[in-house]
Amino acid sequence: MRGERETLSTVGIGGSLRSRSGSLAALRVALDGAAESGAGTELIDVRELDLPAFAPGRGEPPEAAARLARAVSDAQGLIWSSPLYHGTVSGSFKNALDWLELLSDEEPAYLTDKTVGLISAGGGSQGLQAINTMEFVVRALRGWTVPLVVPVAQAWRAFDLDGRPRSEELELQLRMLGREVAAAALKLSAPSPRNLDTRPVRERTA
């Protein structure tokens, strides 16, 4: 059982292969929000991961993929931030998620009992398609998304040269998302009440 003082971990995964990535800048701010709530944080930049395309059954995974899987496995909270490419997530971001197949044999598998916050960065006026796609993935991997999502519109002008949000509102939303993930992760990882009957309904007598 997790000790009360033990720090929960929130891992951010995202960014594009571009050197000044808006989705990566947004992710950094959201992780700051999680840190403000007392979570330990780690940023996993998809560009730095430099993963090969996931191929099932190809033998030993590369070190970067093993590191990604380990970080996700050890985390209670996750923040995903993808660029919006052709109305959905980018290939490199989705490939990183494909590598989470390494968690299929974990007990419990994949993202069970993990909380996920979602961000997208688009060039146009909205980016909900990428958010919705990511939500499908979270559900497929048995995770839980928090209600707040942040689709960053016109990402090319949303951040300054240092990667700081130009608008206070965007900064607030991203930090709030990080805080929400950390708070929900704390709740979801709390031990179940002792009197909670977790048997299937048909097996209960009263």
Ligand X SMILES: Cc1cc2nc3c(=O)[nH]c(=O)nc-3n(C[C@H](O)[C@H](O)[C@H](O)COP(=O)(O)O)c2cc1C
Instruction: Give the footprint of ligand X on residues 18-47 (CB under 6 A).
Output: 18, 21-24
Interior angle at CA 103, CA 101 and CA 106, nearest 5? 145
Q: Could you tell me the two tokens for 107?
A: 């007990």
Please tell me whether residue 108 binds ligand X under the rule CB under 6 A: no
The one segment of 35-43, 94-102, 108-116, 121-129 that binds ligand X by CB under 6 A: 121-129
Q: Which stretch binds ligand X (CB under 6 A): 35-43, 64-72, 83-91, 101-109?
A: 83-91
Q: Does 86 bind ligand X (CB under 6 A)?
A: yes
- CA dihedral of 148, 152, 153, 156, whole degrees rounded to 10: 180
Q: How far is the CB of 205 from ligand X (least distance, A)?
A: 55
Shortest distance in whole angstroms from residue 148 CB to ligand X:
20
User: 70: how many CB neighbours lie within 10 A of its CB?
Assistant: 13
| Sole binder of ligand X in the list 87, 109, 140, 160 (CB under 6 A) | 87
CB-facing half-sphere around the CA of 14: CA atoms within 13 A: 31
Closer of 49 and 103 to ligand X (Cβ)? 49
Identify whether the C-beta of residue 13 lies closer than 8 Å to the C-beta of residue 44: yes
Q: Which of residues 145-204 bind ligand X (CB under 6 A)?
A: 155-156
Q: State which of residues 84, 96, 174, 177 lies at the interface with ligand X (CB under 6 A).
A: 84
91 binds ligand X, rule: CB under 6 A: no
Residues in the chain: 206
CA 13 to chain centre: 6
Taking the complex as a whole, how short is the minimal distance between the CB of residue 55 and ligand X, in angstroms?
23
Query: Which residue shows structure tokens 């980018």?
Result: 90
> How many Å separate Cα 103 from the centre of its chain?
15
* Tally of CB atoms within 10 A around 181: 31
- Chain contacts with ligand X (rule: CB under 6 A): 15-16, 18, 21-24, 83-87, 121-124, 155-156
